[in-house]
Structure 1
Amino acid sequence: MARYDKDHKRQTRERIIEAAGRRLKADGIDGSGVSTLMADAGLTNGAFYAHFASKEDLVGAAVTEELRRQTASFLKSVTTREDLAQFVKDYLSPEHRDHRVDGCPSAALLDELGRCDTATRRAYTAAMGELLAKIADVIGDPGPATRVKVSSAYALMIGTIQLSRTLTDPKLADDILEEGVRNVLRILGLNSP
């Protein structure tokens, strides 16, 4: 029997989490079984419990990692209010709408995350809280009122993407994205000309 060092186990776990993040955004939590998630990582079902206590454990880890990546990307690209306005425009774009797998985990999974266990929802809450705090910092007021405003704006962004993805009328779907951009920029005090 081959023995692997701790680094191999860590790398394998990371590979599973990365593959699961993409699959979950594509097919949803309920649409992604353990065997599919493991196959995406190039592993068998038998290896699953060496890394995770349950599917919920993997979902929590994958969503947390997806949000960590989103926050890291945000921090690299958003340092000014102008950058934040561009972030909103990019988020509420046809490209983001049409490429769910490469996009925001909240927009892809929020409805299902609400039905997850408390540990998964706590992991999501902590990771989302970090992103929202970073957005409030860019606005220049990390106080509680701004956090509420940022939370409301982000919820509008998520709902706008979800609705736009659902519609079969391409013009209406695009119009909803454009109106979403205007509304979010107004809420955040980032009105553009």
Structure 2
Amino acid sequence: MRYSASHKLETREKLLQSSAVSAKRSGFSTVGVDGLMKAIGLSGGAFYSHFSSKDELFASVVESELRQSLERLGAEQDRDKLERCLKQYLSMCHVEHPETGCALPALGAEIARSDIAIRQQAEHWICQLQESWAQVLESDSLAWAILSQCIGALVVARMLATTELQHKVLKSSYDEIGRQIAGPGA
């Protein structure tokens, strides 16, 4: 039985979304093709009608997730909206639910170990986000610093076992970013 083109696209999208959730929760390299396909109710053999390799799927996950991050955190910001975004980003909800949040803290190490094409793709989206923040903050370097601090704070908070320390890391980072945004003497 042949499936329609729309069915194939829908299945590919389900696989992409399910793989992104799995990757952000457990890491991309930890789950095999069979496991990824089982998560959407299909056999492992069907995978290759959607992607030529697991690496191609990872590249698609990275592109999709970072595009979504840019849409949520990027364009058409003002300082108030940026501060609200940062508060959500540096939250316990984001720490506890990596599968629904930004891919960078969850997949950054895997992206760094990937081939140059995936790293270039990630760089493209990260630079667009940084440029969006730089326009709001009127500082290229401040945008890089805040972007890096947010990702790092989330990684550190997720590494910690104690909720109290997780809160402390997030609050300290948020407070310091607030001082950076406010500028000298504020």
Aligned to 1:175: 168
- Of 146, 154, 167 in structure 2, the residue corresponding to residue 161 of structure 1 is 154
Do the aligned partners of residues 26 and 71 (structure 1) sit closer, same or farther apart at CA in structure 2, a change above 3 Å counting? same
> How far apart in 2 are the matches of 1:125 and 1:97?
23
Change (3 A) 1:48 1:147: farther
Aligned position for 2:70? 71
Q: Distance in 2 between matches of 1:133 and 1:164?
A: 26
- Does structure 2 retain, via aligned residues, the 8 Å contact 1:85–1:190? no
Partner of 1:51: 50
- After superposition, the CA RMSD in angstroms is 2.1
Conservation of the 8 A alpha-carbon contact between 2:33 and 2:44: yes
Q: Secondary structure at the match of 1:42?
A: coil
Counterpart code for 1:157: C
Which whole-Å deviations, capped at 9, do the CAs of 1:126-182 have from their partners, x for residues lacking one? 22222222222333x4xxxx3343122111111111111111222222111111112
For residues 133 and 41 of structure 1, the distance between their equivalents in structure 2, rounded to whole angstroms, comes to 36
User: Contact 1:113–1:121 at 8 Å: present in 2 too?
Assistant: yes
Q: TM-score, normalised by structure 1?
A: 0.86
2:102 is the alignment partner of 1:109: no
> What pairs up with 1:92-171 in 2 under 5 angstroms?
92-139=90-137, 141=138, 146-171=139-164
How far apart are residue 31 of structure 1 and its match? 1.3
Task: State the number of aligned residues.
Answer: 185
Shift in Å at residue 7 of structure 1? Answer: 2.3
Contact preservation (8 Å) 2:77, 2:132: no
2:107 counterpart SS class: helix
Confirm whether residue 32 of structure 1 aligns to residue 31 of structure 2. Answer: yes
Identity %: 30
TM normalised by structure 2 equals: 0.89
In the TM superposition, residue 116 of structure 1 has moved relative to its aligned partner by 1.0
Structure 2 residue runs of 5 or longer lacking an equivalent are none
- 1:80 matched to which residue of 2? 78
How far apart in 2 are the matches of 1:75 and 1:154? 11
- Partner Cα separation in structure 1 for residue 55 and residue 140 of structure 2: 28
